[in-house]
Amino acid sequence: MRNFRQYGKEIAVGFLPILLVFLIFAGLPAIPLLLGIVMVGGLLLLSRTRGGLAMSAAAKKAPARAPQTLSFDDIGGQEQAKRELTEALDFLVKQDQITKLGIRPLKGILLTGPPGTGKTLLAKAAARHTHSAFIAASGSEFVEMYVGVGAGRIRDLFNEARKQAAKLKLDSAIVFIDEIDGIGGKRDGGQHREYDQTLNQLLTEMDGIQGNESPRVLLIAATNRKELLDAALLRPGRFDRHIQVDLPDKTGREHILKLHARNKPLAEDVSLAKVADETFNFSGAQLESVMNEAAIYAMRDGCEQIGANHLALAIDKVMMGERMDRETTKEERERVALHELGHAIVAESVRPGSVAQVSLTPRGQALGYVRHHPQQDSYLYTKPFLEEQIMIALGGAVAEELHYGGRSTGSRNDFEQATNIARTMIESGMSGLGIVHPQAITTERWAEENAAILEELTERTRTLLGGQLDTFRKMLDILIREETLSGEQLRQQLQAVAA
């Protein structure tokens, strides 16, 4: 097959005259057949060159840029990632020291982490740090139905980076491929020739990067799913550095908020430290959206400054979605209020001070919600903590049972959350099964243990809420009338009942 592809043109050129002579002697019309062959050949040629032309056009429309205006100082919440990336870029900056120590230059840097954490921003800042030409592409741009198009685009991308660096009289160029899992996925031996040829061409280009070439080329790639990448792509000598870009902690979130608040007038009652507390597990992109949405709310209200109330609304919008104008019946509204109060009362009982707000405002798919603010960032969880989390999730359904004698479909997401936490407990050796591999547990045994955990915690939740019926009635009127109940109001009511 390889020889046929290699000598296909020569075979075609030799066969066509013989075919035409045969048709003429046989008395058959040769001209229509000849025109048909020419048309088919033209279409095939067009399809094969389509990818290269598209890549060249794209490169002309979006040429490499140098230097980038974004610096590492403009990126918040990723101090560890910035430190690792800066060290990895030294081979482009400190050439003399690299040569003296005999260090092999890096060929590739892989940035991995959740969406919105700043991987693309880090790549752009790397171009400014090293004063390199910068050209970017997405993994999906190289995938086509025509075999060989993706490989051609990979070649054009690296050639374009070298040309742009030479044109700008720079010593180095950075090629950035976002969502590289689109072309660098694991090969399974199937018939995906286009994917395989594109990946093979990328591997060939990385192998062809030499330390003494001028201009030097560095490949930086980003992915949210490192586990899907092919082993040949991840080995040393190709992607030499794997840098994890995680969600920011509280200090990082506050830093990011300050960066995005530089051009925004904030009122005196705004505390970005408090906002950082209430945005646990938010990415950098979400935090930027919080500040932008808060400015939009201030503009709607005709305010010249962004207040704390605008930031609270912005957090709710980013977390839950836009406010919806849904008409609900009186019974549905009361049921939603009881459901959310069930979550809130359980949360305050097991973790005092954890509730920020209870609201009946429909947002996204939710008819109401409870917003929590963790007292501190946590990454390891104990068995009591997970049990408390399950009780909080079950609080809404148990509250409906106590007042109406049954549940509603509004508890579906709560049950999904509770079962996921129970699964974590089983896999972490915190259940009655002890330490056991998940694959060693049968489906029936798994279901029994899951049911046992949820049944026990449901009874504990029922006992806790059963002694709060008077509190429910008092807060229910306030919540329905005001539509929101602050955490302070909730705690005051609970303290009054306890007294």
Which of 59-63, 102-106, 114-118, 188-192 is the most confident on average? 114-118
Let me know the angle formed at the C-alpha of 221 by 218 and 225, rounded to the nearest 5 degrees.
Answer: 155
pLDDT > 90: percent of the chain: 23
Predicted local confidence at residue 267, as pLDDT: 92
Query: Above 70 in pLDDT, residue 266?
Result: yes
What is the average per-residue pLDDT within 159-182? 87
Geometric angle at alpha carbon 150, from 147 and 154, rounded to 5°: 145
Q: Please give the pLDDT value at position 314.
A: 92
Q: What number does CATH give the domain 250-320?
A: 1.10.8.60
Mark whether 340 is an active-site residue: yes
What does the pLDDT read at residue 45?
55
Q: What is the pLDDT of residue 432?
A: 86
**For 62, phi and psi rounded to 5 degrees?**
-125, 75
Secondary structure of 264-286 in the HEC alphabet? Answer: CCECCCCCHHHHHHCCCCCCHHH
Q: What is the rounded average pLDDT of the residues 324-351?
A: 85
Residues 6+ apart with CB under 8 A from 52: 149, 152, 153, 156
Stretch 49-70: mean pLDDT: 48
Q: CB neighbours of 85 closer than 8 A, spacing ≥ 6?
A: 109, 111, 122, 126, 241, 243
Residue 9 has pLDDT above 90, yes or no: no
- 410 versus 363: the higher-pLDDT residue is 410
Question: Which among 352, 346, 354, 356 is positioned nearest to 392, based on CA atoms?
Answer: 346
The owner of tokens 């950082």 is 276
Catalytic residue among 84, 194, 205, 340: 340
- Going by pLDDT thresholds of 50, 70 and 90, the confidence category of residue 15 is low
Where is pLDDT greater, at 157 or 105? 157
265 band by pLDDT with thresholds 50, 70 and 90: very high
Question: Residue 194: pLDDT band by 50, 70, 90 thresholds?
Answer: low
CB 182 within 8 A of CB 143: yes
One-letter identity of residue 279: T
Q: 113: left (phi > 0), else alpha (psi -120 to 50), else beta?
A: left
Beta carbons of 50 and 145 less than 8 angstroms apart: no
Q: Which residue from 388, 389, 396 is spatially nearest to 340, judged by alpha carbons?
A: 396
* Confidence at residue 236, expressed as pLDDT on a 0 to 100 scale: 83
Element containing residue 34 per DSSP (H, E): helix 31-61
Give the mean pLDDT of 354-371: 80
pLDDT band at 68 (very low <50, low <70, confident <90, very high): low
To 10 degrees, what angle do helices 79-88 and 119-130 make? 40
Q: Are 209 and 217 a contacting pair, CB within 8 Å?
A: yes
Mean pLDDT of 367-381: 74
* Phi, psi torsion values for 107, nearest 5 degrees: -105, -30
C-beta of residue 291 within 8 angstroms of C-beta of residue 260: yes
What is the pLDDT confidence band of residue 415, given thresholds at 50, 70 and 90? very high
User: Could you tell me which residue, 54 or 209, shows the higher pLDDT?
Assistant: 209
- Give the pLDDT confidence score for residue 52 in this predicted structure: 44
Q: For residue 109, give both structure tokens.
A: 């840097």
Say what the pTM is.
0.69
Distance CA 367, CA 414 (A): 13
- Is residue 329 predicted with pLDDT exceeding 80? no
What Rg value do the Cα atoms of the chain yield, rounded? 31
Q: What mean pLDDT do residues 4-23 have? A: 57
Please give the average per-residue pLDDT across 260-274, as a whole number: 91
| Number of C-beta neighbours around residue 378 at 10 A | 10
CA distance 160 to 43: 27
Q: Give pLDDT, residue 423.
A: 92
Residues 422-460: pLDDT tens digits?
999 999 999 888 888 888 888 889 899 999 999 999 999
DSSP secondary-structure letter at 354?
-
Q: Is the pLDDT of residue 406 over 70?
A: yes
- Check whether 49 has a pLDDT greater than 70: no
Helix, strand, or coil (residue 76) = coil
For the chain, counts of helices (H) and of strands (E): 20, 8
Supply the DSSP string of 375-435, one letter for each residue: SS--S---HHHHHHHHHHHHHHHHHHHHHHSS--GGGHHHHHHHHHHHHHHHHTT-STT-S
Closest CA to 254 of 270, 231, 233: 270
pLDDT, tens only, 198-252 = 888 888 888 776 656 778 888 899 998 888 888 888 888 888 889 999 989 888 9
Across residues 86-101, what is the average pLDDT? 80
Residue 279 has pLDDT above 90, yes or no: no
* Digit-coded pLDDT (tens) for 94-121: 877 877 878 777 888 999 998 888 898 9
Distance CA 103, CA 106 (A): 9
Q: Is the pLDDT of residue 2 over 50?
A: no
Percent of the chain with pLDDT over 70: 79
Cα–Cα distance, 179 to 140 (Å, whole number): 8
Strand blocks (E) in 224-367: 241-244, 355-359
pLDDT at 291 over 90: yes
Short-list 283, 224, 219, 233, CA closest to 253? 283
Where on the phi/psi map is residue 37: left (φ > 0), alpha (ψ -120 to 50), or beta? alpha
How many other C-beta atoms can be found within 10 angstroms of the C-beta atom of residue 138? Answer: 15
Determine the Cα–Cα distance for residues 2 and 8; give it in Å rounded to an integer: 10
Mean pLDDT of 327-355: 87
**Regarding the domain delimited by 330-498, which CATH topology (the fold level of the hierarchy) does it fall under?**
Methane Monooxygenase Hydroxylase; Chain G, domain 1 (1.20.58)
Ranges 76-90, 130-144, 319-333, most confident: 76-90
Q: How far apart are CA 160 and CA 155, in angstroms?
A: 8
Tokens, residue 144: 């086509």
Domain boundaries, the chain: 2-60, 72-244, 250-320, 330-498
Q: How many CB atoms lie within 10 A of CB 499?
A: 5
Q: Which amino acid is at 479?
A: L
Output the average pLDDT for the chain: 81
Mean pLDDT value across residues 159-185: 86
Q: Is the pLDDT of residue 59 over 60?
A: no
- Tell me which CATH homologous superfamily contains domain 72-244: P-loop containing nucleotide triphosphate hydrolases (3.40.50.300)
Between CA 123 and CA 129, with CA 125 as vertex, the angle to 5 degrees is: 115
Give dist(CA 237, CA 210) in Å, integer.
11
φ/ψ bin of 116: left (φ > 0), alpha (ψ from -120 to 50), beta (otherwise) = left
pLDDT of 344 reads 92
Contact 220, 239 (CB under 8 A): no
